[in-house]
Amino acid sequence: MSETYPSFDGAPLALHRAGAGRPVILLHGLFSSAHMNWIKFGHAEAIAAQGYEVLLPDLRAHGASAAPHDPAAYPPDVLVRDLAALVDHLGLDDYDLGGFSLGARTVLHAVAKGAVAPRRLIAGGMGLGGLTDWQARAEHFIALIDRFDAITREDPAWLAAQFMKSQRVDRVAARLLLGSFTDLPLDLLDRVTMPTLVVCGDEDDDNGSASDLAARLPDATHAEVPGTHMDSVTRPEFGRAIAGWLGPADGR
């Protein structure tokens, strides 16, 4: 089931739902969508089977959500503000929260900066290095966008460009969004006190060390699943790891 909700600035953002029960919000990764990261490969279904209502927004400038071309629509930490608006819109006060890659980065920022307060947290495809030095990461993706039409099959960026094409990424909006991300001072991780699952592919070091992130958080469990950053989220073990860690909703 899909719907839209108004964010803090009135931008219409898409929300997909699966299952019924205790709410858990899951955010997708950069240039992806709720469907690609959570629905297509059965993860939302596996979690919903545990008695959860899985709430799956498309991030701003992604999927079926608004992708404005006005720079004013991308203030610092705009995705954190969109997430807080979703929690307020749904009237949630007892829920779980997670994300993959950019989604994980967003939920860690949101909790550490006091924008949201879930009972439990899931950070997928994220390591300690993915929370800092954002400028260099942004420049990498902006360069990809700026030379998008010149990328050939021999280019190391070919697969990333093809993925963006498959997701119909609005490159103007994506470029603006990349400029809205900020670094997270690592001392703020002390505020992420709720139980947290850090789940990452055993060949995934795109965002630094997941085990280092788990060790830095006050109450975290580190789980490995098979795969790289691009394919770990497509494997059933990824959804099973999250569903298993959450456990049956009626037991919480």
Environment class of residue 138 by beta-carbon count within 10 Å: exposed (0-12), middle (13-18) or buried (19+)? middle
pLDDT at 138: 85
CATH code of residue 43: 3.40.50.1820
Average pLDDT over residues 88-105: 97
Q: How many structural domains are present in the chain? A: 1
Q: Are 66 and 3 in contact (CB under 8 A)?
A: no
Range of the domain at 200: 2-131+185-251
- Does residue 200 fall inside a structural domain? yes
CA-nearest of 126, 116, 94 to 29 is 126
Instruction: Judge whether 140 lies within some domain.
Output: no
Question: Where are the extended beta strands (E) located within the chain?
Answer: 2-6, 12-18, 22-27, 52-57, 96-100, 120-124, 196-201, 220-225
For 229-239, the pLDDT digits (tens) are 999 999 999 99
Mean pLDDT of 204-219: 97
Mean pLDDT across 237-250? 96
156 in a structural domain: no
pLDDT(129) > 90: yes
Task: Answer yes or no: is 227 within a domain.
Answer: yes
Tell me, yes or no, whether 148 lies in a domain.
Answer: no
Q: Quick check: is 142 in a domain?
A: no
Residue 104 lies in a domain: yes
For residue range 134-171, list pLDDT tens digits in order.
Answer: 888 888 899 989 998 888 999 888 888 899 999 999 99
Q: What is the pTM of this model?
A: 0.96
Among 124, 164, 126, 168, smallest CA distance to 142 is for 164
167 within domain boundaries: no
Cβ-count burial of 224 within 10 angstroms (0-12 exposed, 13-18 middle, 19+ buried)? middle
**Which residue in the block uniquely carries the two structure tokens 């995705």?**
79
Q: What is the mean pLDDT of the chain?
A: 95
